[in-house]
């Protein structure tokens, strides 16, 4: 990557759930970064800590130790009341189960983040219409998510994640519920958006189809970066010491 500026820096982060002898150490002294316009994945078996890492970067949880910086903001030390605005304006989220609102149309699902930001109606219509065309769903705007295939629903979820032009999109197993063709189409879409918009994507996944498309793959095991494990196309050390 020519542009090496960081959109996220995770420094010596640890996270445990519970206390004493019953504590589960989900992350142990993890350090890494995400650069602008990168496709990066945290890979590892169930329980390796990759989803916990995603939740911490996404300001959905807080680390017990260490710091997380998004752009110029050290979000790990922000007051809880400030975090919803960070999530709405700086981050996008794509989930394994799509998390679309079933009573809203495709258009309304993508529009919802703009409503939260108070964007005027005409601008909302313009932005949502243009983005639905970009993801190949311009003719599905009035449909219910129930009327769409899994791959189409995930494209709606990607559009919703991108509508506020975030610098970083976090995706938790986004291809796990998709067949091979649909999964490849969603990954093509994310790669195109990375190229066209400069958006960074950070994935948690163990899907080899997804891992083979990444710029970097960060191997995790037992809550730590696993230097013993490599995944193609791992190109460089992901841990920033």
pLDDT per residue over 160-186, tens digit each? 999 999 999 999 999 988 899 998 999
Q: Is residue 117 part of a domain?
A: no
Per the domain annotation, does 170 fall within a domain? yes
Residue 162 lies in a domain: yes
Q: How many angstroms separate the CA atoms of 187 and 60, rounded?
A: 24
- CATH number for 11: 3.40.50.300
CB 161 within 8 A of CB 114: no
CA distance 125 to 233: 40
d(C-alpha 90, C-alpha 165), whole Å: 8
Place of tokens 């445990």: 16
Largest CA distance in the chain: 57
Distance, CA of 213 to CA of 215 (rounded, Å): 7
Average pLDDT over the chain, rounded to an integer:
89
Q: pLDDT tens digits for 139-151?
A: 999 999 999 999 9
Cis peptide before 215 (omega within 30 of 0): no
Range of the domain at 211: 6-101+153-225
Which sign, positive or negative, has the C-alpha torsion 75, 81, 82, 88? positive
Q: pTM score > 0.75 for this model? A: yes
Domain tally for the chain?
Answer: 1
Does some domain include residue 26? yes
Asked whether residue 148 is assigned to any structural domain, the reply reads no
Does the residue 126 lie in any domain? no
């Amino acid at each position: 990557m020519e542009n090496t500026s960081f959109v996220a820096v995770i420094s010596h982060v640890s996270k445990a759930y519970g206390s004493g002898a019953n504590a589960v150490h989900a992350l142990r002294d993890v350090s890494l970064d995400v650069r602008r316009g990168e496709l990066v994945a945290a890979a590892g078996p169930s329980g390796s800590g990759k989803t916990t890492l995603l939740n911490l970067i996404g300001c959905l949880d807080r680390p017990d130790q260490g710091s997380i910086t998004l752009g110029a903001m050290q979000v790990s030390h922000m007051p809880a009341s400030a975090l919803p605005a960070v999530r709405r304006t700086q981050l996008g989220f794509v989930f394994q189960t799509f998390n679309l609102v079933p009573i809203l149309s495709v258009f309304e699902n993508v529009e919802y983040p703009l409503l939260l930001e108070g964007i005027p109606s005409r601008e909302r219509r313009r932005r949502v219409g243009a983005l639905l065309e970009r993801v190949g769903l311009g003719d599905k705007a009035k449909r219910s998510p129930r009327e769409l295939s899994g791959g189409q629903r995930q494209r709606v979820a990607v559009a919703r994640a991108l509508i506020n032009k975030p610098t970083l999109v976090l995706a938790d197993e986004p291809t796990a519920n998709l067949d091979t063709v649909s999964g490849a189409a969603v990954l093509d879409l994310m790669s195109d958006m990375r190229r066209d918009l400069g958006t960074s994507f950070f994935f948690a996944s163990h899907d080899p189809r997804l891992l083979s498309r990444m710029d970097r793959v960060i191997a995790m095991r037992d809550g730590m970066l696993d230097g013993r494990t490599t995944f193609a196309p791992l190109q460089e050390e992901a841990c920033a010491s």
